[in-house]
């Protein structure tokens, strides 16, 4: 096992926990309560803060903001957490927030997920495994997203919504209700337009 590789311009708190083979690129910042698993890579200009755990071999691209204070005006600095699974891909400009007292104190993301550029995971959300968020997807607070869900570019999911496993939300859709497993939702105010036949197969 090799020691972490930390670029000279990165700012890493001495208290941060870094696994083997971690790579931290130029101009990254890592806070004191952060835990980066084995093989995690922060490409450059990544900011990881708060009580955040990042699973093994997850790769985070420039200008992602991970674990900073939730966008909830009721937040009062409670010691909430953000947990990200292993082997995730987090692209440029992605934001993920920890939980709040009103939502169980935790936000979680599963394994093998892909979050494309500028997508957002709100506070107190729980995202399953093998999920794909296309560019500019907005997930409001307190949402639950099942395994193998795909959300198209520019789509938005209202707070407290539940998206069932293997569901599909079309690009530019606004999901205002729960979506059944294997359901397909499309439209400006998204409606159940059919089933994810590919997922069923």
Active-site position among 33, 50, 72, 123: 123
- Residue the block writes with tokens 């729960």: 178
Whether 124 is catalytic is yes
User: In the beta sheet, which residues pair with residue 115?
Assistant: 90, 133
Under DSSP, the state recorded for 142 is: T
Active-site position among 31, 99, 141, 170: 141
From CA 201, how far away is CA 194, in angstroms rounded? 14
138-139: strand order across its sheet: 11-12, 29-30, 47-48, 65-66, 95-96, 120-121, 138-139, 156-157, 174-175
DSSP string, 148-169: T-EE-TT-EE-TT-EE-TT-EE
3-state secondary structure of 21: coil
Whether 35 is catalytic is no
Whether 141 is catalytic is yes
- Residue the block writes with tokens 């104190």: 105
Active-site position among 33, 72, 124, 147: 124
Catalytic residues: 123-124, 141
């Amino acid at each position: 096992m090799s020691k972490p590789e930390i670029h000279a311009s990165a700012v890493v708190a001495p208290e941060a926990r870094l696994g083997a083979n971690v790579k931290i690129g130029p101009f990254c910042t890592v806070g004191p309560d952060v835990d980066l698993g084995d093989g995690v890579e922060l490409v450059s200009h990544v900011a990881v803060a708060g009580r955040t755990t990042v699973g093994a071999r997850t790769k985070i691209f420039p200008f992602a903001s991970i674990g900073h204070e939730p966008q909830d005006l009721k937040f009062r600095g409670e010691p909430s957490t953000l947990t990200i699974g292993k082997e995730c891909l987090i692209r440029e400009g992605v934001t993920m927030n920890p939980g709040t007292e009103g939502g169980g104190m935790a936000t979680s993301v599963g394994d093998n997920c892909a979050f494309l550029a500028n997508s957002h995971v709100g506070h107190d959300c729980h995202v399953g495994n093998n999920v794909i968020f296309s560019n500019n997807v907005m997930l409001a607070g307190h949402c639950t997203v099942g395994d193998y869900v795909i959300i198209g570019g520019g789509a938005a999911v209202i707070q407290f919504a539940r998206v069932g496993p293997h569901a599909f939300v079309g690009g530019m859709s606004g999901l205002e209700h729960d979506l059944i497993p294997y359901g397909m939702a499309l439209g400006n105010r998204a409606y159940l337009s059919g089933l994810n036949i590919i997922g069923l197969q």
